[in-house]
Structure formats: structure tokens, C-alpha cells
Chain A
Amino acid sequence: MSTARPTLVAAMTDAALSALVALGLFCVLIGLRLVPTDSGLTLHTRPRPLVLTVLAVFAGRLLLRLWQRARPAGAPTPRLVAEGVTRAGRLVGPVFLILALTLPLYTGRYGIDVGILVLTYVMLGWGLNIVVGLAGLLDLGYVAFYAVGAYSYALISTTFHLGFWTSLPVAGLLAACWGVMLGFPVLRLRGDYLAIVTLAFGEIIRVVLINWTSFTGGPNGISDIPRPTLFGLKFNGSGDPDTFAAFFHLDYSVTQRFVFLYYVILGLALLTNWVSLRLRRLPLGRAWEALREDEIACRALGINVVTTKLTAFAMGAMFGGFAGAFFATRQGFVSPESFTFIESALVLSIVVLGGLGSQLGVALAALVMIGGSELFRDLAEYRMLIFGLALVVMMVLRPRGLVSGRTPSIALGARREIAAELVAQGRG
């Protein structure tokens, strides 16, 4: 009994202190309001919202403290959740794949549209996962490669009149080249320093796109980007013999094009997944993971750290470029506005939230973050609030992401999951 009371008192004191800080912060922010009147501005006080906010902070802090006391650090709850998720994970993957494959059968145009959006981010997440999750190189400028891919396709298709499928590999290759170009200057950087430089790189690409008006169209972007075709069959309502609807003697509907786009991005995303999974079990992927674990040991074993890092950057960038080309063909229009830092942050948070290095986790996180924010679209500005709160709660409960732990790439006996605590997160 001697321990219970002081803890309660301590929690109350702590909560009171938090409330005091909140009062200091919000007394001007919330408590005062300037109202324009005929004679200029008048100062109004708003005690009610202020009191409510301070009380909310007090109650929240108190509950948090009491909850932390009820569940001391290292309690088994999160571990149980972790094991549950891992076990369910074996089923979740195939189930989601089947759901994804059959999605156009049971949703309308809106559902397919959301599906396309989610899959684009799944693909970006998987691409970035190679760089951040496997090789442990923190990249805050991933959107740069997305932009390179999108603009590559936009420029190639509008200048040389090449189709989507011919331009796609070119866009991927160009993005990979930019990945290598980014890789060179940052080879010696680690951790925070690497993050800052990649962040700057992402911004440089965007600023160049805005200002090089003669080449990229500047802020106006590039429009009239051709849509993809299915073995030469177009998706439009003109009724020409080389359109999809006419060829198969169907009535034209816009949904056909959306279903086709959906399967294109699903195919591209699955390609990314297949290559990542395959590479993980090959020497190159193992070298990436070893690099994340210990760069110095890699050097001592004769692994060329430079080429290993560059291939990781190039491979991640290539898939970013593919996704970018798809984005361009889906929108039919690209402009620098689509490639702001928030996109990089979003993709990185998908990877972190999903669990570094986990394919399934990244896909789930993309579904939750992109699909979820579509779900809450009606809530308008509260969307970001819910979003932020969900992120914080998630990271408190599962600091290593939805699917933490690592499956060995090779085993003599059965593959056993490696606990996340042992796996390094990479310091760049």
C-alpha cells in the first residue's frame, strides 16, 4: 500500500505539470481570439475551449502514467501480439493476394481507383524497402526517382511517340542511373547525414522540374501523356477497330480502362515483390543485409561496399521509376506538385510502419495508410490528426513495425523467425 499512493500522487503531479505546460502553450493560442470589427480588431477571450484542452491534457497524461504502471516495461503483451501477427502472417499474405487479384469483380470504379492508388504505394514501399529495409540506407528523397520515372515516360512518350510498354524499361533504367548518381556522393555518409543529403536530392529534382521550363514545362507540367495499351489495343470509346471494346465486341465503358490499369499496377507491384524476395536469397541481397548489420565486417570479408550500396540505390530507384511511369500514364498529366517531400515521407512511413525489410508488413501498412486515409476522406482536416495519432500509437505498441522479425534467407533445417531485437536497423 505504501507504493500505490505515492505512484498515484506522482502521476497526479506529473499530469498537473503537463496541464500547466499546456496552459502556458494554449492560453494565447486558444484562449485569445482577434475578431475584426468595424473599428479594427477586438480581442476576445475564449475560456471554455482553453479549459477543455487543458483538462484533456491532464486526463490523457494521467491515464498514460497509470497505464504504464499497470504494464511495466518489458511486459509480455506486445510479444504475444507480435507472435500472433507473425503466425497470422502466413495466412494473411495469400488471402490478400487473392483479394487483390479479384478486387475488380466486387467493387465499382471508386474501389478500383483506390486499389490503384494503394498498389502504387505498395510498389513504392517495396522499392524503398530494398534501400532502407535491406541495405539499411535511410533515404528521405525517394520521391526523386518516382519523379524521374514519371517525367521520363512523359517526355519519351510525348516527344518520340513511344508506347507505355517500350518506355517503361527506359524510365526504370533512367531512374536507376539517377539512383547511382545519388549513391556516389553519399557513399561515405551514414545515418542522419545520409538522410539530410537524400532529402536535399529529392528537393533538387523537384526544383529543377519547376524551373527548367523549356524541357519539363515548368509548373504547368506535361499533359496529354498517352494511356497504356493492351497488346496495341487502346482503351477509348472511339469505336475504332484497334480499341479494346471494339476488338472483343463489347460495349465501351470507362471501367474497362480502370480495370486494366489496376492489373498493370498489380503486375508491376508483384514483379517488385518477386525480385525483392528473390534477391534476398541471392548473394547480392545477402550482402545488402550484411551491410545493414555491419559495414566494417563486410569490408573485412572482401565485399565491395561501394558497388553493394550502389546496386541497392539503383535497384530501389528502378522500381520507383517504374511506379513513376505508371503514375504518369494513369494521370495522363504530370507536374512537379505531385513530387513533394510529403510523398517521400509517406512512403518512408509506410516502410517503417510495416516493419523494415518485411514485404507483407509494407503492403499492409500501405493499405492501412492510403486506404485508411481514403476511408476518412469525409472527416476532412481531422484526417491528418487521426493519421498522426494512429502512427504514434502504433509506434508505441510495436516499435519495430507491424511485421517485425526477419526470416533467414537460407537454412539447413527449418527457417525460424529471427527476433527483431537482434536485427540491426542500419545506420546508413
Chain B
Amino acid sequence: MRFGGLTAVGDLSFAAGRGEITAVIGPNGAGKTTVFNCITGFYRPTSGRLVLTHADGTRHALERLPGHRIARHARVARTFQNIRLFAGMTVLENLMVAQHNALMPSVANGLLAVFGLGGHRAAERTALEKARGWLEAVDLLARADDPAGALPYGAQRRLEIARAMCTDPVLLCLDEPAAGLNPRESDELAGLLGRIRAGGCSILLIEHDMGVVMRVSDHIVVLDHGSRISDGPPAMVRNDPRVIAAYLGEGDEDEAPAPLDAGATA
């Protein structure tokens, strides 16, 4: 992915396994969010391929699909580094909007619903049940009728994940979900991610909180300056000298292992 003369993500190739949590880490400006934006269709990569294979074997070439089709047909959902909720709508409404395509398969269908036709009532009931389920999962049921913008920060992060999950994704891309959370909230987040994985959804995770990364990931990809510098299970990546060098610069022996080891002790 190039922006004019700047190569944000260059020679990069990695695979994220089905039913796994794959973490993408790297120093600031390494190109992690750019990778996410390419996967979710917000950027069109200048070269390269992005292939998503569903469990039934259908393959989707993500680099060619327009943004909303990636979410709808390839079933990739994402959250944002700076939370993007519909602040003026209630928590429940946020989850209902997320199920837009299930509720309104076509515009004609949406217009028929004005006259009570097109099976809208049944669809709405199913959607409401699913929303209720996810509200329970992220512990926001009691605040369902509050505006999303009035929730505390941690709750907004959870709501954004619940909203993404309401689109029924096969791949969930989380951009720094633990940013700004306190240790207890981070713990709860790790638990939630585990449950989502258990539900059969693969997760791609950008995160700076190494405690969370080391605990939940099955597989870690490390980026620096737009290319991959390490790739493997947490235990291996943690001790990779290139990773340590990228994060802390070389020759800082006494401090080097500290942040990466946090996961082992937590």
C-alpha cells in the first residue's frame, strides 16, 4: 500500500488461521492500521492480494470488493481505534443498525415494510433477540436504552465489539480494543475475545497492551516499517531479538524483556 511516494505497507505476507486469534503488533507507525484498512476495504491496496476463505470453501478477493460488500458478503467486521459509535442513537439502536442487511435485504423490501409487508416484523423480532443476546454478552443490557455517546469509555469499547458481532462476521478485526481500559476491563476484554473465538469467529487484533496480546493470541505477526519482522506463537515472538530491537532499540538489555513479559505473569 503506497500513498504517493510513501510506502506504508510494503513486502508483507501473513496468514490468519480460522478460529484463531491473530495479533498484529508493532511500534507506532508500523502500518498495522493501514493493513486493517486494506482488509476492510477502506483503502484499496496498490498491489498485492487479500484472500478470505470461508468455512464452506468460498473465497473472497478482498482487495477487489467495495467497502460495504466486504462487511456484507465476505463477512468481515471491524472496530475503530478511535471509537465510532452512533453517539446520538441508543445502545440498542446501534445493534439494530448493525443488522441492517438482515433486516432489509433490498431497498424494495425496505419500502414495502412501510406498509407492513415483506416479513419485516419477524425479522425485527429475530434481530431484537440477537441484540439482546450480545448486550448480555458484553454486560450492557441494563443500559440498552441509553444513548451510546453517554456510556463510559470502556462500555463504548465493548459496545463497538458487540455491534461488529451483530453483523455475523467470520473475521472480526479489532483495532486496539484495550486502549484506555483499566486492568480489570482489559481482563474482561480478554475473556470476551476468548468467548467470541469459541463461537467460531476468527479474530485479527491490533493491540499495544502486551498483557492482553500474550494471553489471548494464538499467533502473533510483528510489523515494523511496513514489513513483517516476526511471525509465530507468542512464546517465540516474545524472545525474538528482532522484535525486541524494533520495540526498544538495540543495546537496551535491562529493559528489553519487561513489556513483552507482562503477559506471562498476568
Same complex origin of A and B: yes
Chain A residues proximal to chain B, CB less than 8 Å: 275, 278-279, 282-284, 286-287, 289-290, 293-294, 296-305, 307, 311, 406, 408-416, 418-419, 422-424
- B42 smallest CB distance to A (angstroms): 7
Q: Is B6 an interface residue (CB 8 A)?
A: no
Q: Mark B103-123, 1 if CB is under 8 A from A, else 0.
A: 110010011011000001000
Q: List 20 A–B pairs whose Cβ atoms lie within 8 Å, in order of A's numbering.
A: A286-B89, A286-B93, A290-B86, A294-B86, A297-B84, A298-B97, A300-B42, A300-B80, A301-B71, A301-B77, A301-B97, A305-B68, A408-B89, A408-B90, A408-B93, A409-B89, A410-B90, A411-B92, A412-B141, A412-B144
Q: What residues of A have a CB within 8 angstroms of the CB of B85 in the complex?
A: 294, 297
Q: Check A409–B93 contact: CB distance below 8 A.
A: yes
- B99 smallest CB distance to A (angstroms): 8
Q: Is B96 an interface residue (CB 8 A)?
A: yes
Q: What residues of B have a CB within 8 angstroms of the CB of A415 in the complex?
A: 145
- A190 smallest CB distance to B (angstroms): 16
Q: What residues of B have a CB within 8 angstroms of the CB of A307 in the complex?
A: 107
- A132 smallest CB distance to B (angstroms): 15
User: Which one, B68, B78, B93, B100, contacts A410 given CB within 8 A?
Assistant: B93
Q: Check A300–B87 contact: CB distance below 8 A.
A: no
Q: Check B113–A282 contact: CB distance below 8 A.
A: yes
- A298 smallest CB distance to B (angstroms): 8
- B98 smallest CB distance to A (angstroms): 5
B163 (CB) vs chain A CBs: closest residue: A301
B116 (CB) vs chain A CBs: closest residue: A278
Q: Is B7 an interface residue (CB 8 A)?
A: no
Q: Mark B145-159, 1 if CB is under 8 A from A, else 0.
A: 111011000000000
- A299 smallest CB distance to B (angstroms): 4
Q: Check B88–A311 contact: CB distance below 8 A.
A: no
User: Which one, B72, B110, B141, contacts A302 given CB within 8 A?
Assistant: B72
Q: Check A300–B120 contact: CB distance below 8 A.
A: no
Q: Mark B198-239, 1 if CB is under 8 A from A, else 0.
A: 000000000000000000000000000000000000000000
Q: Which of B47-74 contact A (CB under 8 A)?
A: 67-72
Sorted nearest first, the 3 A-B pairs with minimum C-beta distance are: A302-B71, A423-B88, A302-B72
Q: Check B92–A293 contact: CB distance below 8 A.
A: no
Q: Check A300–B97 contact: CB distance below 8 A.
A: no
User: Which one, A278, A304, A410, A419, contacts B147 given CB within 8 A?
Assistant: A419
Q: Check A413–B145 contact: CB distance below 8 A.
A: yes
User: Which one, A278, A294, A412, contacts B132 given CB within 8 A?
Assistant: A412
Given contacts A294-B86, A300-B71, contact A284 B111 (CB under 8 A): yes
Given contacts A410-B96, A422-B149, contact A296 B84 (CB under 8 A): yes
Q: Check B89–A290 contact: CB distance below 8 A.
A: yes
Q: Beyond the given A283-B104, A293-B87, A416-B146, could you list 11 further A-B residue pairs with CB under 8 A, ordered by the A residue number?
A: A284-B110, A286-B100, A287-B100, A287-B104, A302-B69, A302-B70, A303-B97, A410-B92, A412-B141, A422-B149, A422-B150
B127 (CB) vs chain A CBs: closest residue: A283
Q: Check B88–A406 contact: CB distance below 8 A.
A: yes
Q: Is B33 an interface residue (CB 8 A)?
A: no
- B142 smallest CB distance to A (angstroms): 10
Cα-based distance from A413 to B146 in the complex (angstroms): 10
Cα-based distance from A268 to B147 in the complex (angstroms): 33
User: Which one, A299, A303, A416, A422, contacts B145 given CB within 8 A?
Assistant: A416
A414 (CB) vs chain B CBs: closest residue: B145
Q: Is B22 an interface residue (CB 8 A)?
A: no
Q: Check B100–A300 contact: CB distance below 8 A.
A: no
Q: What residues of A have a CB within 8 angstroms of the CB of B78 in the complex?
A: 300
Residue among B67, B120, B128 having the largest count of chain A Cβ atoms under 10 Å: B67
Q: Check B87–A422 contact: CB distance below 8 A.
A: yes
Q: Check B88–A303 contact: CB distance below 8 A.
A: no
Cα-based distance from A304 to B164 in the complex (angstroms): 16
Q: Is B101 an interface residue (CB 8 A)?
A: yes
- A396 smallest CB distance to B (angstroms): 23
B106 (CB) vs chain A CBs: closest residue: A307
Q: What residues of B have a CB within 8 angstroms of the CB of A299 in the complex?
A: 41-42, 67-68, 71
Q: What residues of A have a CB within 8 angstroms of the CB of B103 in the complex?
A: 283
B40 (CB) vs chain A CBs: closest residue: A300
Given contacts A293-B87, A422-B149, contact A411 B144 (CB under 8 A): yes
Cα-based distance from A364 to B213 in the complex (angstroms): 56
Q: Check B67–A284 contact: CB distance below 8 A.
A: no
- B252 smallest CB distance to A (angstroms): 38
A415 (CB) vs chain B CBs: closest residue: B145
- A358 smallest CB distance to B (angstroms): 13
- B146 smallest CB distance to A (angstroms): 8
Cα-based distance from A330 to B232 in the complex (angstroms): 76
Q: Check B144–A294 contact: CB distance below 8 A.
A: no
Cα-based distance from A415 to B145 in the complex (angstroms): 7
Q: What residues of B have a CB within 8 angstroms of the CB of A422 in the complex?
A: 87-88, 147, 149-150
- B100 smallest CB distance to A (angstroms): 5
Q: What residues of B have a CB within 8 angstroms of the CB of A414 in the complex?
A: 145
Q: What residues of B have a CB within 8 angstroms of the CB of A290 in the complex?
A: 86, 89, 97, 100
Q: What residues of A have a CB within 8 angstroms of the CB of B80 in the complex?
A: 296-297, 300
Q: Mark B12-46, 1 if CB is under 8 A from A, else 0.
A: 00000000000000000000000000001110000
- A133 smallest CB distance to B (angstroms): 12
Q: What residues of A have a CB within 8 angstroms of the CB of B98 in the complex?
A: 301
Cα-based distance from A393 to B1 in the complex (angstroms): 52
Cα-based distance from A283 to B131 in the complex (angstroms): 14
Q: What residues of B have a CB within 8 angstroms of the CB of A294 in the complex?
A: 84-87
